[in-house]
A and B are shown apart, each in its own frame.
Chain A
Amino acid sequence: MADKINERQVNSIDNGRAELEDRRQIEQNNREQAMLIFEMSRDGRRAYSLPACDVPVKEGLIPDAFARRRDADLPQVSEVDVARHYTRLAGRNHGVDSSFYPLGSCTMKYNPKINEEIASLDGFTGVHPYQNEESAQGSLQVLYEMDRMLSEITGMKRVTLQPAAGAHGELTGLMIIGAYHRSRGDAARTKIVVPDSAHGTNPASAAFAGFEVVEVKSNPSGGVDIEDLKLAVGQDTAGLMLTNPNTLGLFDENIEEIARIVHDAGGLLYYDGANANAIMGICRPGDMGFDVVHLNLHKTFSTPHGGGGPGSGPVGVKEELVPFLPVPVVECENDRYWLDYDRPQTIGRVRSFYGNFGVVLKAYAYIRTMGPDGLKNVSELAVLNANYMMKRLEDSFDIPYKRICMHEFILSNKKQEHNGVRTLDIAKRLLDFGYHPPTVYFPLIVHEAMMIEPTETESKETLDSFVDALISIAREAENEPDRVRKAPYTTVVSRLDEVKAARNPVLKWGD
């Protein structure tokens, strides 16, 4: 529906004088939509009326140095102004509940509402982290069973649920790898190997954990360059961080050889689970040779994502790394659950209490709802949807890696470039069709990349209408490139000057 309105607005904009009034109306609406609450301020207008203070005022409570000299410059508005302003802003959010959100590498999948139902059951919302174990057996059971289920899905021995996000999981996993080497008197292993297609968090986490980062190149088909890897590993290699399928949306078919090369050099393999949505129930990192895995519950396991979280980045490890897991570890004996802190080789705590329990709970609900066959079906559909879209787009757009993709795929602007249409322009034009654009300019190794990840929940109709929008933009880029270059037209603000915003940010209202 929203798409149709936008299309009509675009047409009305372009159809000349007869529609000029419509256009003025749209512009005026947009101006009102974009109004700041400070601009609505009128002297003396207020949202409350308090009775006069009927107790003596005590002076000097605030030390003079900290007392404000003049009134704060706050907007003066009525309650209804505030309510409407923020309701209007909220309405401008884009999320998976409002429309298609094909953000590659991010897995913006739909969050089933049953997850929320389960997480808001009284027994869970009322539980306190300082309760004793006996009175929180149900919550401990969820944590324990989640460990078991994620271990089964990834092919690991145990999983810690403490890390609060993916990058936090990376840091935890790398600390475990470091602790493992040190425990064997192998402290000279100071380097982590990362492919050039990796997520930026991988080298950042490795550096933060105290390792030196060594980059390896990708081969022409998008996988790790085996010869380059052989040169990169040695007695100083602590491990390799790899995303598989990788950030190009391609499964690295040499994974067993890669694992052998790294293990032969004495290093461990770290699996970045960013793309786990492609493999559930089909293959397991543990079977590919990985020793450490992190998952993003806020991607693969359908908990809310974006807007700053909260996320959850559980880390799974093979048997020889279990002693190094963070404390506490939830254990179970004779149907009684308890927290084990007595683990001499642990890397310690990485998070207060037990991780983002509410998020773990929603992901638990998701896994139990789907079951093993359901999860496998999720990955099959995610991969099928991506391949369907890629196939339909292959005549209109350049596809840098032309092979069967996994759950996401990459386009570039090579067919549009000669008309001066950049990937950014195509992304901006998509806004006029009511879609959140795909990931752009990532991965860095593809020039002007667009990365599309549809996820499994989208219907054929949704996939088709998004593809149709892209195809019509490709046609526009050919016939009227200027129209694409100047998009968007129907949004509250048009093309923003990103360079100016980055160089001269204005971060507050007034002086």
Chain B
Amino acid sequence: MKTYQGIKYTREHEWARVEDGLVYVGISDFAQNALGDIVFVELPNPGKSLKAGEQASVVESVKAASDIYSPVSGTIVKVNEALEDTPELLNAEPYENWIVALEPENLSEMDALMDEQQYGDFCAKEA
């Protein structure tokens, strides 16, 4: 399983990364592997405000549809429209392909998430 430094992870297998003041959110390699081939990504409308833990998107694979929760509170400013036609990007390069980008309310919420080491241990227990 691949993980990356500088990226934070949730217990629901989302990842979050800060760039130019925005929080980019995607799903982890563990998540894409568990879901199997992803066939559809439901993207929210930019401008939507979310609290940490609220549903930001839905990712559908041949096995199941899974809610994607926002790791931090904030307002969605961008969605990755490439996923509309090529949802399989999430399988191929889960860390290169974000789903939504949020303007965070409070960046310190990132501190509550797991780092690479903690997430690796967490997944080892789940598997």
- Spell out A's residues near B (CB within 8 Å): 441, 444, 498-499, 502-503
Q: A444 vs B36: C-alpha distance in the bound complex, in angstroms? A: 13
Q: Is B62 touching A502 in the complex (CB atoms < 8 A)?
A: yes
Q: What is the interface of chain B, defined by CB distance below 8 A to chain A? A: 37, 39-40, 62-64, 87-88
Interface of B is mostly: loop
Q: Known contacts A502-B62, A503-B87, A503-B88; can you find 12 more A-B pairs with CB under 8 A? A: A441-B63, A441-B64, A444-B64, A498-B37, A498-B62, A499-B37, A499-B39, A499-B62, A502-B37, A502-B39, A502-B40, A503-B39
Distance A499 CA – B40 CA, assembled complex (angstroms): 10
Cα of A444 to Cα of B64 in the assembled complex, Å: 8
In the bound complex, residues from chain A placing their C-beta under 8 Å from that of B88 are 503
What B residues does A499 contact at CB under 8 A? Answer: 37, 39, 62
Chain A contact surface mostly: helix
Q: Determine the chain B residues whose CB is within 8 A of the CB of A441 once the complex forms.
A: 63-64
The answer for the CA separation of A114 and B88 in the assembled complex, in Å, is: 51
Q: CA A441 – CA B66 in complex, angstroms?
A: 13
With both chains docked as a complex, state the minimum distance between the C-beta of B38 and any C-beta of chain A, in angstroms. Answer: 9
In the complex the two chains form, what is the Cα distance from A444 to B65 in whole Å? 10
Nearest opposing residue in chain B for A423, CB measure = B63
Residues from chain B with a CB closer than 8 A to the CB of A498 are 37, 62
Complex Cα distance, B62 from A58, in Å, reads: 53
Residues on B with C-beta less than 8 A from A502 are 37, 39-40, 62
10 A-B pairs with least C-beta separation = A502-B39, A499-B37, A498-B62, A441-B63, A503-B39, A499-B62, A444-B64, A502-B62, A499-B39, A441-B64
A351 to chain B, nearest CB (A): 28
Nearest Cβ on chain A to B44's Cβ, whole angstroms: 15
Residues of A within 8 A of B87 (CB): 503
CA A499 to CA B63, docked complex, whole Å:
10
List the A side residues contacting B39 at CB < 8 Å. 499, 502-503
Max chain B CB contacts within 10 Å: which of A441, A444, A503?
A: A503
The interface residues of chain B lying within 8 Å CB-to-CB of A503 are 39, 87-88
A selection of 15 A-B contacts at a CB cut-off of 8 Å is: A441-B63, A441-B64, A444-B64, A498-B37, A498-B62, A499-B37, A499-B39, A499-B62, A502-B37, A502-B39, A502-B40, A502-B62, A503-B39, A503-B87, A503-B88
State the CA gap A215–B42 with chains docked (Å): 21
A444→B67 CA distance, assembly (Å) = 13
Measured between C-beta atoms, what is the minimum distance from B78 to chain A in Å? 24
Cα A502 to Cα B87 in complex, Å, equals: 11
Chain B nearest CB, measured from A226 CB (Å) = 21
Chain B: minimal CB distance from A410 (Å):
16
Select from chain A the residue with minimum beta-carbon distance to B86. Answer: A503
How far in angstroms is the closest Cβ of chain A from B7?
25
Distance (Å) between the CB of B126 and the closest chain A CB?
10
Q: With A and B bound together, what is the CA distance between A339 and B117 in angstroms? A: 66
Q: Which residue of B lies closest to A444 (CB)?
A: B64
**Bound-complex Cα distance A498 to B39 (A):** 10
- Bound together, the chains give a CA A502 to CA B63 distance in angstroms of 11
Chain A residues near B63 (CB-CB < 8 A): 441
CA distance A151 to B86 in the complex (A): 51
Q: Can you name the residue of chain A whose Cβ is closest to the Cβ of B36? A: A499
Among B39, B64, B88, find the residue whose CB has the most chain A CB atoms closer than 10 A. Answer: B39
Bound form: Cα–Cα A498–B62 in Å: 7
Closest-CB distance, B27 to chain A (whole angstroms):
16
